Amino acid sequence: MRRTNIYLSEAEQAALDARAAAEGSTRSDVVRSIVDQVLNLATDEALDDILADSAADLAERARELSRSDPDLRVR
């Protein structure tokens, strides 16, 4: 691994820090993860984690929608 310095706006840094805190990770880990995803360098294991997180997010959103809209309730 090599060290790289980048300049971020205050908003970018705040968003990065918030994401790192939410993931229980570090700023550097989040940046590496984003770079890997954007450049299609993510490993199969990382992709599995991304897909699992996405599926959980979608399932929760579906539950929220079905509670708020009777037409969307699963029968």
Q: What is the pLDDT of residues 19-73, one digit of tens each?
A: 999 999 999 999 998 888 888 876 777 777 778 888 888 888 888 888 887 776 6
Contact, 29 vs 20, CB < 8 A? yes
Q: What tokens does 24 get? A: 């229980």
Q: Residue 73's pLDDT is what?
A: 64
Note the pLDDT of residue 10: 96
CB 50 within 8 A of CB 42: yes
